[in-house]
Amino acid sequence: MTTPIRLLLADDQALVRGALAALLGLESDLVVVAQVGRGDEVLAAATASAADVCLLDIEMPGADGIEVAAILKQARPQTRSLIVTTFGRPGYLRRAVEAGASGFVVKDTPAAELADAVRRVHAGLRVIDPTLATESLTDGDSPLTDREREVLRAALSGATVATIAGQVHLSAGTVRNYLSSAIGKTGANTRAEAAATAQRRGWL
């Protein structure tokens, strides 16, 4: 008898984790061996459970799924990462692949397709949502620098320049320069619009 593929589920919503566990648990060749609700708990749980494949949400406390994929690639390369997210954004897909994720699918993927994606990732193949793959090619790479991304992330909350400057440990003038550059690169008119555009494209 074939050894089942050992799965770790990482999602901050317990309901989603439970649903995924129930659906995947119906497959005879898959077994859920660990569940966590925070990104910074994944590596320890994957090591303790000897997980073969980690299904990672993107937006989690502690560390996001893309960061976790990069950590696993470095610290535990025998465990493969499959991003399973509500946020089907081309920029997220590109960043996830660059971080070392083996797959990227959205949460409304049918259960049978998700199980098949797990099997293919475990076999060493790459699985990418086809619609997102097409969008990713047409959208292009993020034009933003790391610092521009940092100030735009802080701007998402509607914070003032002074507040953002305090958060990112830069002068207000430097923050204004980064925001101005980011506004130009995103084709926006305001910093709020630039932040929203960058988030929608998965650049943040």
**Mean predicted confidence (pLDDT) in 19-35:** 95
DSSP-derived pairing of the beta strands 103-106 and 80-85: parallel
How many CA within 13 A on the CB side of residue 124?
1
pLDDT 10s digits, 40-69: 999 999 999 999 999 999 999 999 999 999
What is the domain range of residue 76? 5-138
State the Cα torsion 83-89-95-96 to the nearest 10°: 10
Residues 127, 36 share a domain: yes
Residue 50 shares a structural domain with residue 126: yes
pLDDT digits (tens, 9 = 90+) for 101-139: 999 998 888 889 999 999 999 999 999 887 776 666 555
Domain count, the chain: 2
Task: Tell me the CATH number at 183.
Answer: 1.10.10.10
Residues 130 and 159 in one domain: no
Residue 20 in tokens: 């995924």
In contact, 178 and 148? CB cutoff 8 Å: yes
pLDDT tens-digit profile of 160-204? Answer: 999 999 999 999 999 998 998 898 888 888 888 899 888 877 787
Same domain for 162 and 109, yes or no, is no
45 and 91 housed in the same domain: yes
pTM above 0.95, yes or no: no
